[in-house]
């Protein structure tokens, strides 16, 4: 699951070297994702994993690990 999420993020943000990306990677602080990037990443993840992320939960998703936990808890 982590690898697929990482792939989505790398593609969305056009990241060349993704070796540093791990579960603790912060979307905004470490990857410089703005709010539009974050929404597009979540939309792609929703489609890939066939889930729906509630708007209220978006503000709680800061790291890739947060995304993984959310998917695991809401599948």
In sequence order, the 6+-apart residues with CB closer than 8 A to the CB of 5 are 45, 64, 67, 68, 71
In sequence order, the 6+-apart residues with CB closer than 8 A to the CB of 21 are 6, 9, 10, 15, 30, 31, 64
- Catalytic residue status for 34: yes
**Annotated active-site residue in 3, 17, 24, 34:** 34
Residues marked active site are found at 34
């Amino acid at each position: 699951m982590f690898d697929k999420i990482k792939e989505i993020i790398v593609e969305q943000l056009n990241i060349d070297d993704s070796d540093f990306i791990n579960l603790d990677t912060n979307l905004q602080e470490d990857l410089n994702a703005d709010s539009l990037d974050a929404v597009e990443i979540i939309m792609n993840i929703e489609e890939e994993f066939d889930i729906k992320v509630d708007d209220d939960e978006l503000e709680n998703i800061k790291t890739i690990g947060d995304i993984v936990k959310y998917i695991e808890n809401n599948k």
